[in-house]
Amino acid sequence: LRKCLYNAGFRPGDIVMNTFSYHLTPAGIFLDDACNGIGCVTVPTGVGNTEIQVKTMAGLKINGYIGVPSFLMSLIKKMEELGHDTAKGLSMEIALVAGEILSPSLRKGLNDYGIIVRQAYITAELGGVAYECPQENGMHISDDLYIEICDPVTGEPLPPGSIGEVVVTDFSNECYPLVRYGTGDLSVLDEGECLCGRTSYKLKGIMGRADEVTKIKGMFVHPRQIDEAAAKFSDEIEKIRVVVTRSGVTDMMTVEIQLKHGVAGIDTLKTAIDEKIRESTKLRGNTVFVAEIPEGSKKIEDKRKWD
């Protein structure tokens, strides 16, 4: 991860806000350590608290950002809402983003504020797997790793140029070697030469998930978590599904529920379900009661468009 950050342009003395969660997921602490390791001052702002984060950003003249890209845009929009003159120039110069798909329009939006945006592909088990160079058209694979692109069902390696699951072998960590670790992420290997001069192969971005697991606001959500939350309401709920959409740069999670016949006390139920979903997914969703959830629907319906 130090290499990731250094390649992205982070340098000793930079003041960097790390907006990944330090709680229950390793991203926050991993990147905090890496960021301190290259001599930056790391400000552990974590998730949420947008208004306080904006004050921190302005007050400390923060010039580096680590987190999901959409949250950086939310911070800038909040700054403008609070009357900061972002046209005069933000102190923010460089962002290392990970954890969600970066759309070309969002990258351009951030570039327009004078921010260099570099993507990284990071997992809890492996740390930094791959990172963008200034060419910004794919992520160079970390030297320590051996990567295969495989059929997600059979696990067999696929021919060059195929979309498949990223499978990683890593002997660099002696305490925790990993052999053919299936990340569940879909990508394509790019074996071509890169104009930046780096010779390692690239991953052409992350194209989605091999299974039904979906990443919402940077957090994995598995159908099982939805079922778990719904299980406490088995007397009331006939069917449940989650619909993921995107409003501007923000993921929206709607929990659709088809109730059993004659269920009453809907307001109380909505509050209770919202709470369970939050406990189970760590995300705030909006519960709506629908007449019918179509037969054969996916438990998590991803309707986001990545323009």
Work out how close the CB of 250 gets to a second copy at its nearest, in angstroms, rounded to a whole number. 15
DSSP 47: S
Work out how close the CB of 252 gets to a second copy at its nearest, in angstroms, rounded to a whole number. 17
Task: Please name the residues in contact with 183: beta carbons below 8 A apart, sequence gap of 6 or more.
Answer: 123, 126, 129, 165, 166, 167, 168
Mark residues 140-179: x for contact with a second copy by CB under 8 A, - for none: ----------------------------------------
Q: Does 241 bind a second copy (CB under 8 A)?
A: no
Q: Does 224 bind a second copy (CB under 8 A)?
A: no
Q: CA torsion, points 57, 245, 302, 137, in degrees to nearest 10?
A: -50
Mark residues 258-297: x for contact with a second copy by CB under 8 A, - for none: ---------------------xx-x---------------
* Nearest one of 245, 236, 228 to 279, comparing CA atoms: 228
Work out how close the CB of 24 gets to a second copy at its nearest, in angstroms, rounded to a whole number. 6
The angle formed by the CA atoms of residues 169, 28 and 274, to the nearest 5 degrees, is 105
Mark residues 46-65: x for contact with a second copy by CB under 8 A, - for none: xxxxxxx---x---------
**Cα dihedral across residues 57, 58, 60, 61: positive or negative:** positive
Among 21, 119, 187, 214, binds a second copy (CB under 8 A): 21
Work out how close the CB of 276 gets to a second copy at its nearest, in angstroms, rounded to a whole number. 9
Pick 187 or 280: Cβ nearer a second copy: 280
Among 23, 224, 284, 303, binds a second copy (CB under 8 A): 23
Pick 51 or 212: Cβ nearer a second copy: 51
Among 6, 9, 38, 44, binds a second copy (CB under 8 A): 44
Residue whose structure tokens are 């390692």 = 200
Work out how close the CB of 160 gets to a second copy at its nearest, in angstroms, rounded to a whole number. 41
Q: Coil, strand, or helix at residue 200?
A: coil
Q: Does 185 bind a second copy (CB under 8 A)?
A: no
Contact call for residues 285 and 214 (beta carbons, < 8 A): no
Work out how close the CB of 176 gets to a second copy at its nearest, in angstroms, rounded to a whole number. 14
* Nearest one of 95, 142, 92, 135 to 121, comparing CA atoms: 142
Q: What is the DSSP string of 248-271?
A: TTEEEEEEEEEEPTT---HHHHHH
Among 28, 67, 99, 138, binds a second copy (CB under 8 A): 28
Give dist(CA 72, CA 9) in Å, integer.
Answer: 17
* Residues contributing to the site for a second copy (CB under 8 A): 21-24, 28-29, 32, 44-52, 56, 279-280, 282
